[in-house]
Structure 1
Amino acid sequence: MLLYMSNAIQESRSMSLHSVSVAGVVVREDGRVLVIKRADNGAWEAPGGVLELDERPEDGACREVLEETGITVEADRLTGVYKNMTRGVVALVFRCRPVGGVERTSSESVDVRWFTREDVVRHMVEAYAVRVLDALDAGGPQVRAHDGRRLLGADSSAA
């Protein structure tokens, strides 16, 4: 009986674990946004990655942008919280502004570009395009769920 309860508790804990990632939607004065073409899957996304245990979320977003693009940024505000329901990843997305650096690729990015809003809609998967579009809009932070490609539930009309 005790062994069964112990296994049930462990299973419950493992099912409730999440990974936290951060991303920066870097917006230039002309309204274009910085995006990368990921080396691992070829998808266009805002630069981002796993938040480290010892860093603040906005600092992590700035670090990830610099690592993946060569652009130094300052985080202005949180624009959304997004959960990939399939993978258990919660992403915190910040609108950022560029303050220095020169665009370059990295081991995680094979291309770095400044997209227009139309480019975002045309070239990015819905679940990731909506993060950029939410950051471009002036509204408060959004909370959305997706399956890695499409938004889920009432969120599906957002992009």
Structure 2
Amino acid sequence: MLLYMSNSAQETTSTPLHSVSVAGAVVREDGRLLAIRRADNGTWELPGGVLELTEAPEEGVAREVWEETGIRVEVEELTGVYKNTTRGIVALVFRCKPTGGEERISTESTAVEWLTPEEITARMAEVYAIRLLDALDEAGPHVRSHDGRRLVTQR
């Protein structure tokens, strides 16, 4: 905690704490995208997780996709930065190309599927679907905020 004196009184401020996560928007040649159904809450999302302190973002993406899906990827480019304003999580999403492996579930996933953009919109909450849809858009990278459920309009 940082303390400083103002002209009127002593004020207390603290440095905000954020967690950084990484996720892979894995796009197959036929345009389908890799998605998982999470084991902890049953929601459909793109594979990803917390970035380790010692790894580069691209390394973290490749690790998370492999751990959760059994698919090896080549990380191509950053497609979006997404901030959960409620939980203080900043997610970096990278478009990836599958290079090998076979789909399998893990301790973190109960299903692994290749979905169309329409299936993504139907199955995923807005804050996760937009990450995959943004990865298909060449105009990125996109920067968006959300409250954990809905996108927050920028002021």
User: TM-score, normalised on structure 1?
Assistant: 0.89
Which residue number corresponds to residue 114 of structure 1?
114
Alpha-carbon distance, 1:18 to partner: 0.1
Identity, in percent, stands at: 66
Q: Does 1:72 align with 2:72?
A: yes
Q: What is the match of residue 22 of structure 1? A: 22
Give the deviation of 1:71 after TM superposition.
Answer: 0.2
- Alignment length (residue pairs): 149
Structure 1: which 5+ runs fail to align? none
Residue 62 of structure 2 is matched in structure 1 by 62
| 1:25, distance to aligned residue in structure 2 (A) | 0.5
Q: Which residue of 1 aligns with 2:105?
A: 105
Q: Secondary structure at the match of 1:53?
A: coil
The 5 Å alignment of 1:8-157 reads 8-9=12-13, 12-13=14-15, 16-154=16-154
Q: Offset at 1:63? A: 0.5
TM normalised by structure 2 equals 0.91
Which structure 2 segments of 5+ residues have no match? none
Q: Partner amino acid for 2:127?
A: A
Aligned to 1:73, what secondary structure does the other structure show? strand
Partners in 2 of 1:76 and 1:110 — Cα distance?
Answer: 27
Secondary structure at 1:8's aligned position in 2?
A: strand
Q: CA RMSD in A?
A: 1.8
Query: Structure 2: how far apart are the matches of 1:62 and 1:139?
Result: 23
The structure that is helix-richer by fraction is: 1
How far is the alpha carbon of 1:7 from its aligned partner? 9.2
Distance in 2 (alpha carbons) for counterparts of 1:153 and 1:4: 33
| Corresponding residue SS for 2:12 | helix
Q: Aligned partner of 1:134: which letter? A: D
Question: Structure 2 counterpart of 1:44, which letter?
Answer: W
Greater fraction strand = 2
